[in-house]
Structure 1
Amino acid sequence: MVALTLLTLAAGAAAAPALTARQQEIPEGWTWQVENWHAGCQRAGCNYNFNITVPTVEGDIAGVKAYCSGYRGYDTPDNYNLCQILEGANNGVSAKFGPRPEDGTGPKEIFISFEKGAYEPEGRPAYNFTGSAPAVYNAFVAPLLNFTVTPTQVTAVA
């Protein structure tokens, strides 16, 4: 009986498709363009708004353009805020301020996340690319800013 069970398990394993590693690399030289960055802080917290363009990587990633805005109170968690997709589909963008320093000033970084949507027919999971940039507070004192963000992390989304 044990031999029959082992033989059945071995036959089932041979018939099952091999698991493939689901890896997604950050494309070389891939940068995101942030435009019209505006951020400021008041007594209760800090806010930001900007446009972002995540370019297409031919044959791999469909790009998007999005409008992002968010607020972080001094006593609220730093959750990501979904951005409004202006162009593109099937992928998403979100942003959040980084942690607030102990000295009482505004957060030092903005984190931006791009989600490459899953593709079920191929069994491909979604991937989350994240990059950050210094949070510059230019409200009321400086013009809107433009800068680039380079993604530094990628993770599969279950």
Structure 2
Amino acid sequence: MIIHRTTSSPGWWLSGAVLLALAWWGKPLVLSDQFENHFYGLFYYSILAGMALFWALPSEQRFANGIFERRTMLLGLITLRTLSAPASAFSEIRLEQDPNLFRKDTIWLMVCSQKADDEQSGQVERFAFANWPATARNLATAQATAAALSQASGLPVITAETRAE
């Protein structure tokens, strides 16, 4: 079984700590005697609640017994929703690099299939398995994960260099 969890990232835990710090920092807005502060406090905490909702629902991707699966979990513990597809629905594993303007590029580990009826249009069905910031260490991790997925699923790994040839 190959698993990629969002909750295993230090960034997920750090953002949770930042949300707690922001909740503590906004307490004077709610504890004030002025109506304006209560209004701003309500607005502030409603935005914070929305951010906490997105934070509390991390995803987990895994491959086991010939099935690719994405699970949305509550705090990484309780499964709320599961999407799955058999490995036979896909034809290749791709490592793609997505350019970013304001931070490091992103490396995506995608499981793709070329639909038979859409070959002329070039539409590809994709399952995003994992992503990392583009560093040398993360590239090595992505390549190792792609190789492990390839061996477990029997799908070939296609890189940008392979596609160019």
Quick check: which one's helix share is greater?
Answer: 2
**Common topology (TM > 0.5):** no
Say which structure is richer in strand. Answer: 1
So what's the TM-score if we normalise by structure 2?
0.28
